[in-house]
A and B are shown apart, each in its own frame.
Chain A
């Protein structure tokens, strides 16, 4: 028994030794921190895009309205800097600020991507009114929050109109305070460029970057890439971008290159 045990332990020790030796064959390299953080943020953004509203990650502290400063050159955003207009209409509670960030034609069908930014309701009554307005606007039930969770929250929705098909949401969130993006920070979501029921390749990419970003490149799975168009969006303190992939390929990654 003792000999068996010794043999058993010896074997396991040797296996451990061999495993350690084999593991040394891998090239460790430098930890790609930036790539992982970018990937994590993209993953978080994609999760937001498909999550139900109650599962959204909420950022920020108290403050029922935006208090964003320092957005030179974007007069359409300065409206939110002024802050705290008194009526819900002036705060865009029932009628969002809408910006078209891209449009085009795909196989003869016109499409456009719009971003709507909804001001924060101050009480339950305003929240109920906003929820009704969101339904009228065409937001899908799956992305609508419970009205109770709208109070104090600014909501944004990016979505695709493809031909005559209903609005399809790409990236959305509700925030007490916009999460600041800086440097090469990037959040994006990809979806098929097609009709609502399409399960085709994810050829449409919508995302946000910091206002200091000057160039964003979208990479496709076929190895090619496209430079994105950057757009300011009314009511949003970040820059938005849209890319579309060529036929027969789909989204691989996106990054701020300058």
Chain B
């Protein structure tokens, strides 16, 4: 019993150390803020630890981790994101798109993208991050988000369309992505 528990702990620790960097990046894109990302990943992994006996023996433990993270993000970080990243004028995306001289357009491409992500509704942001950063299939994304493939397609398409409409981002894309 003790050996089995010890083995489980070591497996978890190994899993955590191996996945930490990628989970942090994903969480950063979801939350837009360093500390919020750390908080999200830690909370996720604490829950994974509690269920590690089940998770560790599953065929795809990472799918479980993603699901936990997305659930937590949807529940806990929706408000925080706005606090960190939303512009003072919260009247909506369309307003920003029209103003090519606003501060988002003037920012560098990283903060432009993070700012643009922050403007997306949470489900669209999750769909975009999972599809285009995590490079998941639509089916995997649907599993992580707990919704249908159709909903993933819709959210991802809307999210991408809004990102493309951001002047600063469009310019960055047009020039090859990185300055």
Contacts and interface: CB of A to CB of B under 8 A. Distances in A.
Interface residues of B, number: 45
A23 B28 contact: yes
Contact of A43 (B9, B47, B163): B47
Interface string B1-42: 110000001001100110011001111110000100110001
A11 B162 CA distance: 12
Main secondary structure of the interface of B (DSSP, over half): helix
Interface stretch (B73-81, B90-98, B106-114): B106-114
A18 B20 contact: no
B30 to A, nearest CB: 10
Contact of B173 (A11, A22, A26, A40): A11
B160 A12 contact: yes
Contacts of B45: 36, 40
A36 B42 contact: yes
B25 A15 contact: no
B23 to A, nearest CB: 9
Of listed A36, A39, A41, A44, residue having the most chain B CB within 10 A: A36
A59 B1 contact: yes
Contacts of B37: 26
Nearest to B23: A31
A1 interface: no
A205 to B, nearest CB: 18
A17 B163 contact: no
Interface string A13-45: 011111111111111110111011101110110
A21 B26 CA distance: 12
A64 B25 CA distance: 48
A24 B42 CA distance: 19
Given A12-B132, A33-B13, A61-B1, A43 B46 contact: yes
A203 interface: no
Contacts of A25: 28, 110, 114
B1 A24 contact: no
Interface string B53-72: 00000000000000000000
B132 A19 contact: yes
Nearest to B176: A14
